Homo-oligomer: A and B are copies of this chain.
Amino acid sequence: MREPMLGIDRLIDRIDALDNPSVVGLDPSLSMMPEALAREMYAEYGETPRAVAEMFFLYNRAILDAVADVVPAVKPQIAMYERYGIDGLAAYVRTCEYAADKGLYVIGDIKRGDIASTAEAYAAHLAGAEIGSARVDLWREDAITVNPYFGTDGIEPFARACRETGKSVFVLVKTSNASSAELQDLEVEEVPANVALRGKSAMGDVARAFAGLANMPLYEQVANYVEVWGNDLVGERGYSAVGAVVGATHPEVGRALRRAHPRMFFLVPGYGAQGASARDLAGFFDAGGRGCIVNSSRGVIAAWQRSVDGETVTQPDAGRALDTVAAAARGAAQAMAAALRQAR
């Protein structure tokens, strides 16, 4: 029986077709909402989480309509919705659905992680939930981000979901923030004898992966684990459905990991508002210009707030607030695509 096409292959094909290795982070906040939109929603729903959720969805929908033929993927950050409780999360799901229905590859930036039995519950983000005789996809994500702190048994339920559905996970390896060094750069001496990789990742694979290695930063060790976790999920384009999150703010790390892990696809946050430039990204790509997708959130979705001349942003009129948001986002997404084409 032929396996279903892996989503990571579909993502790579979309990147190639659009000649654009970027993803738009859908991370709305109240401070981005045009005053006219906020006024309208507060008038309709009061100062409630529901009002914020409706703003966020309308805002996202306008952006999705504007960028769906420019970018291959979007990455809604669930925290920005979860902040507003159940209503906010409902807007997250509506956003994922709307994006998926437009053919966009949807990366749920949820950074979940727990011990095996609990990770299995979180894996419903990919595998769906079994209820009675049915299995239902309640989240509509094509991929999610996950946290490696628990080791193999906390990752295996997600990897199993990838095997079953063809979807993907991106494991945090080296994050874009300044404090990432505190844990992730700690020099580790060796893999201790009590490391017991369980499940289908055989000890032998791991021993081979680590033979002769010592004194490397923790994130390299984590990347070696990710390699093992994804070694049976490599798609037709040469990349595994188990990828890694590597921050654009660490260009040398990206270059080193790219060289060490030719089958590992990178999700790269930190471009734009977080400080990394297109030049910083060259090392994240393989020789063919593939192997990563670069995220920008505020730089695209809040582009309407950037005043060209440094003056206070003029609030758009009520009738065309979302048109203004959408046009600015489309322009910023196109500019980012052009910059990345140069970089790779």
Interface set of A (CB-CB < 8 Å, partner B): 27, 29-30, 42, 47-49, 51-52, 77, 79-80, 82-86, 88-90, 93, 111-116, 118-119, 121-122, 124-125, 129-134, 136, 138-139, 147-154, 172, 175-192, 194-198, 215, 218, 221-222, 225
Determine which of B49, B124, B129 lies in contact with A131 in the assembled complex, contact meaning CB atoms within 8 Å: B49
In contact, A77 and B118 (Cβ under 8 angstroms): yes
Nearest Cβ distance between residue A144 and chain B, in whole angstroms? 12
Q: How distant is the Cα of A125 from the Cα of B147 in the complex, in angstroms?
A: 19
Subset of 22 A-B contacts with CB under 8 Å: A29-B121, A49-B129, A79-B121, A80-B121, A82-B122, A83-B124, A86-B93, A89-B89, A115-B175, A116-B177, A149-B172, A151-B179, A151-B180, A151-B181, A153-B177, A181-B194, A181-B195, A182-B195, A182-B196, A183-B221, A186-B189, A189-B215
Give the distance in Å from the alpha carbon of A79 to the alpha carbon of B120 in the complex.
Answer: 9
Residues from chain B with a CB closer than 8 A to the CB of A175 are: 115, 149-150
Contact A181 B196 (CB under 8 A): yes
Q: List chain B residues, Cβ under 8 A from A218.
A: 183, 186, 188, 218
Q: Please determine whether B122 and A79 come into contact, CB atoms closer than 8 angstroms.
A: yes
Instruction: Name A149's closest neighbour in chain B (CB-CB).
Output: B149
- Known contacts being A131-B48, A134-B47, is A221 close to B186, with CB within 8 Å? yes
CB <8 Å contact, A47 and B132: yes
Q: Which residues of B contact A172 (CB under 8 A)?
A: 149
Q: Are B186 and A192 in contact (CB under 8 A)?
A: yes
In the A-B complex, the 9 residue pairs with the smallest Cβ-Cβ separation, listed nearest first, are: A151-B179, A85-B138, A47-B132, A151-B182, A115-B177, A79-B121, A153-B179, A83-B124, A83-B121
Residues of B within 8 A of A194 (CB): 181, 185
Q: Which of B42, B139, B150 contacts A179 (CB 8 A)?
A: B150
Bound together, the chains give a CA A149 to CA B328 distance in angstroms of 35
Closest residue on chain B to residue A87 by CB atoms: B138
Bound CA–CA A48/B134 (angstroms): 9
User: Is there an interface contact between B138 and A84, defined as CB atoms closer than 8 Å?
Assistant: yes
Partner of A118, one of B80, B189, B190: B80
Chain B residues, Cβ within 8 Å of A89: 86, 89
A46 to chain B, nearest CB (A): 8
Asked if residues A182 and B129 are in contact (CB atoms below 8 Å), the reply is no
